[in-house]
Amino acid sequence: METSKISPSWLVLITVLFSLVIVSCNGSSTDQKVYVVYMGDRPKGEFSATSQHMSMLQATLGSQRAKDSWLHSYKRSFNGFVAKLTEEEKNKIASLDGVVSIFRSTKKQLHTTRSWDFLGFPLNVQRATTESDVVIGMLDTGIWPESASFNDTGYGPPPSKWKGSCQSSSNFSCNK
């Protein structure tokens, strides 16, 4: 009876390929990203946001995985939560009743007068002429009015339909 021998180079190649298959299967299932799960308006009356969100995660992911995944529940302004999810988990949760949308949580650099850049729109896109009539409000984040980010060089006057006013003080002066 004749036995066939497998050359060492074939054994190495088969081992490497098998290892790559195992790593790629495991890698895709554990590749977690942080997502915001938006569920619309906050329910009226007594409502435990964290309890509802954790129950949803437990039913979808299992108890331990839900505990490891959950990061934060929004409790005051809207109904939603933040969790570390794989792509497959994100898709499962997105298909549940009550889930409006799921989007990646990303960190944005705060800007003041360059909203177009802040939103991440490309500069070379064709823009509408009406956008120059849009006034964007300012969030009070403990800002310094003399900061270069408030430089109004290159801006025209405020739109004629704007009915706001500037309340200047001895600490700073108004710009456009």
74 part of a folded domain = yes
What pLDDT does 76 receive?
Answer: 78
What pLDDT does 150 receive?
Answer: 73
122 part of a folded domain = no
67 part of a folded domain = yes
Distance CA 164, CA 167 (A): 10
b/e 64-86 (16+ beta carbons within 10 angstroms → b):
ebbeebbeebbeeeebbbbbebb
59 part of a folded domain = yes
- Domains contained in the chain, number: 1
Per-residue pLDDT of the chain (176 residues; tens, 9 = 90+): 555 566 666 555 666 565 555 544 444 446 999 999 999 888 888 878 889 999 999 999 999 999 999 999 988 778 999 999 999 999 999 999 999 999 998 877 665 556 666 666 666 666 666 556 566 665 666 667 677 777 788 888 888 887 877 777 766 677 77
92 part of a folded domain = yes
What pLDDT does 84 receive?
Answer: 95
129 part of a folded domain = no
95 part of a folded domain = yes
What pLDDT does 112 receive?
Answer: 55
Q: What is the CATH number of the domain that holds 91?
A: 3.30.70.80
DSSP bridge pairs for 38: 80, 101
Full domain range(s) for residue 55:
30-104
89 part of a folded domain = yes
Distance CA 45, CA 101 (A): 23
